[in-house]
Amino acid sequence: MTMTGTDRIEKSIVLRAPRARVWRALTDAKEFGEWFGVVLAGPLTPGARVKGKITHKGYEDAPFEIIVEKLEPERLFSYRWHPYAHDPKVDYSSEPTTLVVFELKETEEGTLLTVVESGFDRIPLARRAEAYRMNDQGWASQMKSIERHVGQGS
């Protein structure tokens, strides 16, 4: 894991549902597809390459494939993929993938789910950016976020 501010995305969310319920929503191919927005062609088993059809309007022809890495029941689910590789005319297979890891922890309120997607530094990411949204974060705040990651001085 590198320390850069551009290599990874990390998200945490507390779900008011038992761990077993969240695990099923993540790893049952049909349930995964419902919230993720894809119809998967097969079950999610370790090592499987699972193709799918994206259900979001406008992306129906986009290639979709995940390579399942680990399934540790009710604890960890991970896969690799080509993030937002939406252009049906492009062959992404030779490009590096990102790694997506879901981790589950039981808490008093329900289940703490952490998602980490990493490996962006090796990816020609611009290709995947369909929309081009200006954000008005200035240079100063960009710097602050970099400083937070690397600290000052050498």
Minimum distance of other proteins from residue 29's CB (angstroms): 14
Question: CB-wise, 47 or 50, nearer to other proteins?
Answer: 50
Number of residues that bind other proteins (CB under 8 A): 54
x/- string (CB under 8 A) for other proteins, residues 8-47? -x-x-x-xxx---xx--xx----x--xxxx----------
CA–CA gap between residue 16 and residue 130 (Å, rounded): 33
CA–CA gap between residue 17 and residue 88 (Å, rounded): 37
Helix (H) or strand (E) holding 20, with range, is: helix 19-27
Binding residues among 49-108 for other proteins as defined by CB under 8 A: 83-84, 87
Query: What residues have CB less than 8 Å from 133, skipping those under 6 apart?
Result: none
**117 binds other proteins, rule: CB under 8 A:** yes
